[in-house]
Amino acid sequence: MKKLKDIVYEIVLDEAQAEFGLDVYKIADSFTLSELKRLKTDGRISDEVYNGATQLLKNWMRAHPTYKPGRGPYRKEMARKLSPGTYLG
């Protein structure tokens, strides 16, 4: 069982290694969690962008239970920007 101190340390560490720029907000609004993981494993987004986007997406989903991820207005723009061979990080 994890201690509260360890859990808080992990959260702080993830936030310290996360990016929250405008593109990260657009990415979080445009892709689902599984698509974000695929973008990370394909090497199209950095760990910091992945951490920031997943944190934003999880918070949005927690605050708005009816929210459907991956349907944002920037999906085409971000898909084009993250086409194979490009890297955002």
- What is the pLDDT, as a whole number, of residue 10? 57
Q: Say how many residues make up the chain.
A: 89
Domain coordinates in residue numbering, the chain: 4-81
Rounded to the nearest angstrom, the gap between the alpha carbon of residue 82 and the centroid of all alpha carbons in its chain is 14
Cβ neighbours of 42 (radius 10 Å): 11
Helix axes 22-30, 33-41, angle to 10 degrees: 120
Query: What is the pLDDT at residue 38?
Result: 93
- Cα 63 to Cα 21, 49, 66, 72, distances in angstroms: 21, 21, 9, 17
Q: What's the N-to-C CA distance of the chain in angstroms?
A: 34
pLDDT in tens, 41-89: 999 999 899 999 999 999 898 998 888 888 888 888 888 888 877 767 6
Express each pLDDT in 10-46 by its tens digit: 555 455 578 888 889 999 999 999 999 999 999 999 9
